[in-house]
Chains A and B, each alone.
Chain A
C-alpha cells in the first residue's frame, strides 16, 4: 500500500524528516508515536503533499506509484486521506455541500459521473449515524464554531464518506472526551478492511486501546528509531521516551 524510503523533508531551512522509512500493507494499522517535535505531523503533511514542505530526498509510493510529485488533490484522488490535527474552519460552506464537492471532484478525477443526489443523501445518512452525528450538524458551516470533539468526528465522517485507501489520523484523539473517543474509534474500526490501511499518529496509548495497531513505530528526530507490536505502546506509556533516546546514544 504505502512504501516510504529514506524520506527527507524540510520547511524553509529546517530539516525535519531525515531519512524516514516505513512500509504499510493493506489491511494493517500502524501507530506512530514519539516526543513533541519528532516530525510526526510533518510526516502526515508530507504524505498528503502540503506545499510548504520541500521534499529533498527519498520516495513515497502508494500502490507502486510514486506520488511525491502529485498535488494534494491528486493524492486524495489516489486514496490518501489525512484527518487533520486542527481541521480548518470554512465559513459559508456547509458540511453537506463540502462533502458533495469533495466526492464529486474525486469521481470526476476517476472519470465517473457525479453521485446522484439520492445516493449521496443515503450515504450521508448511513455514515452520520455511524458517527452519531446529528442531522442539523450537516447544514452548519464546515467546522465553524464546532467543538474540538465535533471537528474530529467530522473528520472521521468525511473519511467514511470518501472511503480512502490510506487514512492518516493525525492526533485524532486530542481534544476528545472518552465517549467521543469511543465513537470515533468505533467509526474507524468499522471502516477498516483488508483493502485499506490506517496510520494513527498519537501521543497516547489510550486511543490504541480502541484502534488496535498491528505495528507501533517510534519517530524521533525525523527518523523511525524503533518498531514493535502494540506492546511497545504500553511500554512507552509506562516509561516515556527517554529510554529510547538512551538506547540510541549508547
Chain B
C-alpha cells in the first residue's frame, strides 16, 4: 500500500484527536480548532510556488512517515538532559518530552502568576476568559502551518503574568524530542500574557536527543500589555535530524518593550516566522538573531513588524555565518501604516560566507504608508576580511583562531543585549564550540 502522505494522515487524524481532547463543553476552543483545520485543509503545506517559501523547501521533510501523536512513553531522567538547563540561575521550568509535559522535570507555579501547561489552560474553566481573549488571536492571521498547529493544539506553555509583577526568575521552556520510537511530528503551542507594567524573561529551547527525524511545528503567541516588558530567548541548537518551523507572534500595547532573540546553531531545517504588531504609541520592539551553520543546514528568518501607531521603534539585527554547504534566508518585512508617524524602524542583516558552497538570500521589504518616518535597512554578504586575518596572524594568532575570532566578534553585536549572564556564557560556549576554537575569553 502506498504510504499516506502527511496531509492525508493529518486529515484522517483530526476528528479522532478533536473528540478525545478534554475541553469544556462551552469553550470556544473546539470551534477555533475546527476553523483552523479547515483552513489548513484548503491550503495544505506551503510550496516553493508560494512567494514566502521561495527559498525554503519543505517537500523533503514532508515525506517522512511521522507519528502525529506521541505515545509519550519515553522516559528521561534529569541526568540525561541536565546540560540543556540553565542551572546556576534559579528558573521556573516547563519540560516537554516528545510534546508531552513532564511534571517530574518541571517546576511550575500558580503563586501570584501562572507558569503552567496549555492543556490545563485550554480545559479548565478558570482560564476560559484568558483563552477566549487571547488564544489564536494572533496566529490566525497567518499561514497554513500556524493553522495546523492551532488545529492540533493541546500542549505547551501557558504563562500569564498579572499586572505590576516582575517575575523574579527566568522561565525556561524546554522541548526535548527523544526520537526513540519513530519519526515524530511535535506541535507545541505556547501562550504568554504579560500584564500591565509586568516584566518577564523567557528562554525557549528545542533539543533533539538522538535518532529519528523530528519535525516541530511550534506556535507562540505573546501579548504585552501597557508598559509590559518581555525578553524572549530562542535556543535552536539542534541535531541534524531535527527540523523546526516556528511561528512567534507578538502583540504590543502602548509603552511596552518586547525583545526576541533567536540563536540558530544547527538543525536540518529551521524556519522562523517572527511577527510583531505594535498597537499603541511608544512601543519598542527588538529582534536579534545569530545563525551559525555548517553541513547542509538551512535557516530561514522571516520577520514582520507592523507599525500601527505613532512614535514607536523597531530594531532588527540578524547575523549569519555560513560554512560548507549551509544556506540561509533573511526576509525582513516592515509595514508602516499611515497612522504610524514618527516611527523609527531599523533593520540590519549581515552575513559571512565561509564555505565555497554556502549561500544566503537576504531581502528587506519595506511598505511605508506614513510620510514622517525614519526607516533604514542594511544588508551585507561577504567573506572574512583577508587584511584583518593577516593583521591578526602577524600578531601571532594562527589563521584558524584568527578566523574564529573574527566570526566571534562579528556575531557579538547581536549578543550584547542578552540579559541573563549564564545564558550569555552558554551561547558564547556554543559559538566557540561551533567554531571549534577556544579563544580564551568572552566577548
Q: How far is the CA of A101 from the CA of B385 in the complex (A)?
A: 19
The interface residues of chain A lying within 8 Å CB-to-CB of B396 are 73, 76-77, 102-103, 105-106, 109, 162
Q: Is B412 an interface residue (CB 8 A)?
A: yes
The interface residues of chain B lying within 8 Å CB-to-CB of A84 are 391, 394
Q: Is A158 an interface residue (CB 8 A)?
A: yes
A104 engages B440 (CB within 8 Å):
yes
A71 engages B409 (CB within 8 Å):
no
B385 engages A88 (CB within 8 Å):
yes
CB proximity to B under 8 Å, residues A30-71: 48-52, 71
B390 engages A51 (CB within 8 Å):
yes
A114 to chain B, nearest CB (A): 7
The interface residues of chain B lying within 8 Å CB-to-CB of A101 are 397, 401, 405, 439-441
The interface residues of chain A lying within 8 Å CB-to-CB of B413 are 92
Across the interface, A48 reaches (CB within 8 A) one of B385, B387, B394, namely: B394
A100 engages B409 (CB within 8 Å):
no
Interface string of B390-433 (1 = CB under 8 A from A): 11111111110110011011101100000000000000000000
B161 to chain A, nearest CB (A): 34
Q: Is A72 an interface residue (CB 8 A)?
A: yes
Q: How far is the CA of A237 from the CA of B112 in the complex (A)?
A: 82
Interface string of A12-33 (1 = CB under 8 A from B): 0000000000000000000000
B391 engages A76 (CB within 8 Å):
no
B443 engages A93 (CB within 8 Å):
yes
B391 engages A87 (CB within 8 Å):
yes
Interface string of A152-189 (1 = CB under 8 A from B): 00000010001000000000000000000000000000
The interface residues of chain B lying within 8 Å CB-to-CB of A103 are 396
CB proximity to A under 8 Å, residues B357-401: 385-388, 390-399, 401
Shortest Cβ distance from B398 into A: residue: A73
Interface string of A72-93 (1 = CB under 8 A from B): 1101110011101001111111
B409 engages A73 (CB within 8 Å):
no
The interface residues of chain A lying within 8 Å CB-to-CB of B409 are 90-93, 141
The interface residues of chain A lying within 8 Å CB-to-CB of B399 are 71, 73
Q: Is A98 an interface residue (CB 8 A)?
A: yes
Q: Is A97 an interface residue (CB 8 A)?
A: yes
Q: What count of chain A residues pass the 8 Å CB interface test? A: 36
The interface residues of chain A lying within 8 Å CB-to-CB of B387 are 88
A170 to chain B, nearest CB (A): 11
The interface residues of chain B lying within 8 Å CB-to-CB of A92 are 408-410, 412-413, 443
B388 engages A76 (CB within 8 Å):
no
Q: A90-B406, A92-B408 are in contact. Are A76 and B393 (CB under 8 A)?
A: yes
Across the interface, A76 reaches (CB within 8 A) one of B386, B394, B412, namely: B394
A97 engages B441 (CB within 8 Å):
yes
Shortest Cβ distance from B401 into A: residue: A105
Shortest Cβ distance from B406 into A: residue: A90
The interface residues of chain B lying within 8 Å CB-to-CB of A76 are 393-396
Shortest Cβ distance from B442 into A: residue: A97
Q: A90-B392, A92-B410, A93-B405 are in contact. Are A102 and B443 (CB under 8 A)?
A: no
Shortest Cβ distance from B387 into A: residue: A88
A121 to chain B, nearest CB (A): 13
A140 to chain B, nearest CB (A): 13
Q: A50-B390, A90-B409, A92-B412 are in contact. Are A98 and B385 (CB under 8 A)?
A: no
Across the interface, A73 reaches (CB within 8 A) one of B385, B393, B412, B440, namely: B393
Shortest Cβ distance from A83 into B: residue: B394
B93 to chain A, nearest CB (A): 33
A76 to chain B, nearest CB (A): 4
Q: A88-B388, A90-B409, A92-B412 are in contact. Are A72 and B394 (CB under 8 A)?
A: yes
The interface residues of chain A lying within 8 Å CB-to-CB of B392 are 90, 98, 102
Shortest Cβ distance from B395 into A: residue: A102
Q: How far is the CA of A81 from the CA of B390 in the complex (A)?
A: 12
Across the interface, B397 reaches (CB within 8 A) one of A89, A91, A102, A114, namely: A102
From B390, B401, B402, B412, residue with most partner A Cβ within 10 Å:
B390
Interface string of A129-147 (1 = CB under 8 A from B): 0000000000001000000
The interface residues of chain B lying within 8 Å CB-to-CB of A109 are 396
The interface residues of chain B lying within 8 Å CB-to-CB of A77 are 396
A105 engages B412 (CB within 8 Å):
no
Shortest Cβ distance from B416 into A: residue: A92
Q: How far is the CA of A73 from the CA of B338 in the complex (A)?
A: 57
The interface residues of chain A lying within 8 Å CB-to-CB of B439 are 101
Shortest Cβ distance from B412 into A: residue: A92
Shortest Cβ distance from B402 into A: residue: A73
B385 to chain A, nearest CB (A): 7
A215 to chain B, nearest CB (A): 24
B390 engages A72 (CB within 8 Å):
yes
Shortest Cβ distance from B409 into A: residue: A92
A200 to chain B, nearest CB (A): 17
The interface residues of chain B lying within 8 Å CB-to-CB of A82 are 394
Q: How far is the CA of A72 from the CA of B391 in the complex (A)?
A: 9
Q: How far is the CA of A102 from the CA of B443 in the complex (A)?
A: 15
Q: How far is the CA of A221 from the CA of B385 in the complex (A)?
A: 30
A98 engages B393 (CB within 8 Å):
no
Question: With contacts A48-B394, A76-B395, A102-B392 known, what are 4 further pairs, Cβ within 8 A?
Answer: A88-B385, A100-B440, A105-B397, A106-B396
Instruction: Pull 18 A–B residue pairs with CB atoms less than 8 Å apart, ordered by A.
Output: A48-B394, A71-B393, A71-B399, A72-B393, A72-B394, A73-B397, A75-B394, A76-B394, A88-B388, A88-B390, A90-B388, A97-B441, A101-B401, A101-B439, A101-B440, A101-B441, A102-B396, A141-B409
| Residues in chain B within 8 A of chain A (CB atoms) | 385-388, 390-399, 401-402, 405-406, 408-410, 412-413, 439-441, 443
Closest 4 CB pairs of A and B: A92-B409, A72-B393, A76-B396, A88-B391
